[in-house]
């Protein structure tokens, strides 16, 4: 749907009035009506890195979800204020690992006698408290674009897989499993799933002792919907189809795909694809629709029979954006995201370890 011209004009006027005081970051899953106002667009890694690119900007308006805005607050200077236009823009995956549950799991790993061998790694899609947990326990943050190097780094911290090192991977079991099996060459049976709703994660001491990857039982409800059957159906109908998916998809889906990577990788892959080629893309619908529109010479389709937007990403709409921006013009900061200093300090350790990873 076309955006309301009056709101577009108001957003433009507010942005002009604020000038260099405001820096607008936009994740690739944002709506067209919002992404058009972003100074920088990117995947989670690029946005984390670029958040610090404008230390002179007083306000950072983050068009994305809560955990991304928290990370931007941690990575920017104290005088900069990070704003999330709708506070209800969370991430259901990030909510699947609560700090009290993770602390309890850590304690259980100590009881089982394996904690000394474990390095925690958290996906960016987690709360600041979980990132802080990783920071104070020798761990690291990763995103979908650097999960392989982050896992290599983590295993190397305690002598490597051969020495019995284990990774506790939070909160996305799929990114953890896909990376461990398809990039590091570990076996599916080297991975166990920690269920926070069961005593001892639902695992025996022996299973924990033998595991190399302890995967938190979290997932993305949007990417969880893509299925291997649909890939089979599409391949039967479309000759020379390329299947391109995000690593948050289930393992069977990634196994049947041709290409897997972050949202930034998905965009670059489509940009580099030859005219006339066919692509089925398994990621959030705003991005797939934008790619289809930008590349009319390529046959781009969505890898699902149904519509699947990320409902929380979509909460950042033009009315909320205009409200946040016009409030700033009036000198009022609405919806500030501010991580407490202790959490910030510890989370920064884990985020900086990620930013220093090779590659």
Distance CA 61, CA 72 (A): 10
297 HSE (CA, 13 A, CB side): 6
Confirm or reject binding of residue 222 to ligand SF4 (CB under 6 A): yes
Which window, 91-99, 137-145, 150-158, 226-234, contacts ligand SF4 (CB under 6 A)?
91-99
Task: Report, in Å, the least distance between residue 313 CB and ligand SF4.
Answer: 5
Distance CA 342, CA 132 (A): 9
Distance CA 167, CA 155 (A): 7
Contact mark string toward ligand SF4, 19..58, x via CB under 6 A: ----------------------------------------
Binding residues: 27, 44, 91, 123-125, 144, 220, 246-248, 263, 310
Confirm or reject binding of residue 144 to ligand 13P (CB under 6 A): yes
Task: Report, in Å, the least distance between residue 87 CB and ligand 13P.
Answer: 18
Among 220, 243, 260, 288, binds ligand SF4 (CB under 6 A): 220
With CB cut-offs between 5 and 8 Å by kind, which of ligand SF4, ligand 13P, none does residue 43 bind?
ligand 13P
The candidate with the shortest Cα–Cα distance to 217, out of 190, 250, 192, is: 192
Confirm or reject binding of residue 312 to ligand SF4 (CB under 6 A): yes
The candidate with the shortest Cα–Cα distance to 192, out of 213, 209, 175, 178, is: 213
Distance CA 231, CA 9 (A): 42
With CB cut-offs between 5 and 8 Å by kind, which of ligand SF4, ligand 13P, none does residue 92 bind?
ligand SF4
Report residue 280: phi and psi, to 5°: -110, 125
Distance CA 95, CA 103 (A): 15
Distance CA 175, CA 177 (A): 6
Confirm or reject binding of residue 310 to ligand SF4 (CB under 6 A): yes
With CB cut-offs between 5 and 8 Å by kind, which of ligand SF4, ligand 13P, none does residue 312 bind?
ligand SF4
Task: Report, in Å, the least distance between residue 220 CB and ligand 13P.
Answer: 5
72 and 83 in contact (C-beta within 8 Å)? no
Q: Which two three-digit tokens encode residue 317?
A: 């709409």
Q: Name the DSSP letter for residue 247.
A: T
Alpha helices in the chain (DSSP H): 5-18, 32-35, 44-51, 66-75, 99-111, 128-136, 147-157, 173-182, 205-210, 228-237, 251-255, 263-272, 285-294, 318-329, 341-355
Task: Report, in Å, the least distance between residue 78 CB and ligand 13P.
Answer: 26
66 and 30 in contact (C-beta within 8 Å)? no
Among 71, 165, 173, 263, binds ligand 13P (CB under 6 A): 263
Which window, 147-155, 216-224, 291-299, 342-350, contacts ligand SF4 (CB under 6 A)?
216-224
Question: Which of residues 259 and 323 has its CB atom nearest to ligand 13P in the complex?
Answer: 259
Token match 């990774």: residue? 167
Distance CA 347, CA 330 (A): 33
Total residues interacting with ligand SF4, rule: CB under 6 A: 13
Task: Report, in Å, the least distance between residue 44 CB and ligand SF4.
Answer: 9
Binding residues for [4Fe-4S] cluster: 91, 220, 310
Binding residues for iminosuccinate: 27, 44, 123-125, 144, 246-248, 263
32 and 2 in contact (C-beta within 8 Å)? no
Q: Which two three-digit tokens encode residue 125?
A: 């899609």
Among 35, 41, 43, 148, binds ligand 13P (CB under 6 A): 43
Distance CA 342, CA 345 (A): 5
231 and 258 in contact (C-beta within 8 Å)? no
Contact mark string toward ligand 13P, 275..304, x via CB under 6 A: ------------------------------
Q: Helices 128-136 & 99-111, crossing angle to 10 degrees? A: 30
Confirm or reject binding of residue 125 to ligand 13P (CB under 6 A): yes
Confirm or reject binding of residue 181 to ligand SF4 (CB under 6 A): no
Under the rule (CB under 6 A), what is the footprint of ligand SF4?
A: 65, 91-93, 125, 220-222, 248, 284, 310, 312-313
Under the rule (CB under 6 A), what is the footprint of ligand 13P?
A: 28, 43-45, 125, 143-144, 220, 246, 248, 262-263
């Amino acid at each position: 749907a076309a955006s309301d011209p009056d709101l577009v004009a108001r957003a433009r006027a507010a942005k002009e009035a604020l000038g260099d005081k405001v820096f607008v970051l936009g994740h690739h899953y944002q709506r067209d009506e919002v992404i058009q106002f972003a100074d920088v667009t990117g995947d989670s890694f690029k946005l984390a890195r670029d958040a610090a690119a404008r230390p002179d900007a007083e306000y950072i308006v983050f068009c994305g979800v809560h955990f991304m805005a928290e990370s931007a607050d941690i990575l920017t200077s104290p005088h900069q204020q990070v704003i999330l236009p709708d506070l209800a823009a969370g991430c259901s995956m990030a909510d699947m690992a609560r700090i009290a549950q993770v602390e309890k799991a850590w304690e259980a790993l100590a009881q089982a006698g394996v904690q000394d061998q474990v390095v925690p790694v958290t996906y960016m899609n987690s709360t600041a408290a979980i990132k802080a947990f990783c920071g104070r326990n020798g761990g690291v943050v990763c995103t979908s674009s650097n999960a392989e190097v982050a896992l290599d780094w983590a295993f190397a911290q305690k002598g490597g897989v051969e020495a019995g090192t284990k990774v506790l991977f939070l909160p996305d079991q799929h990114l953890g499993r896909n990376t461990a099996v398809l990039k590091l060459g570990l076996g599916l049976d080297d991975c166990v799933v920690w269920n926070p709703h069961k005593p001892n994660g639902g695992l025996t001491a022996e299973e924990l002792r033998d595991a190399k990857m302890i995967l938190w039982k979290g997932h993305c409800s949007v990417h969880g919907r893509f299925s291997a059957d649909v890939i089979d159906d599409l391949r039967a109908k479309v000759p020379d189809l390329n299947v391109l998916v995000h690593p948050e998809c289930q393992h069977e889906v990634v196994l049947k795909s041709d290409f897997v990577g972050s949202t930034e990788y998905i965009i670059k892959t489509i940009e580099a694809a030859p005219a006339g080629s066919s692509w089925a893309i398994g990621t959030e619908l705003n991005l797939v629709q934008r790619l289809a529109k930008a590349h009319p010479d390529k046959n781009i389709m969505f890898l699902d029979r149904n519509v699947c937007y990320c409902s929380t990403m979509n909460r950042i709409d033009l009315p909320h954006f205009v409200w946040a921006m016009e409030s700033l013009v009036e000198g009022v900061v609405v919806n500030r995201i501010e991580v407490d200093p202790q959490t910030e300090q510890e989370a920064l350790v884990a985020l900086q370890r990620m930013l220093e990873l090779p590659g």
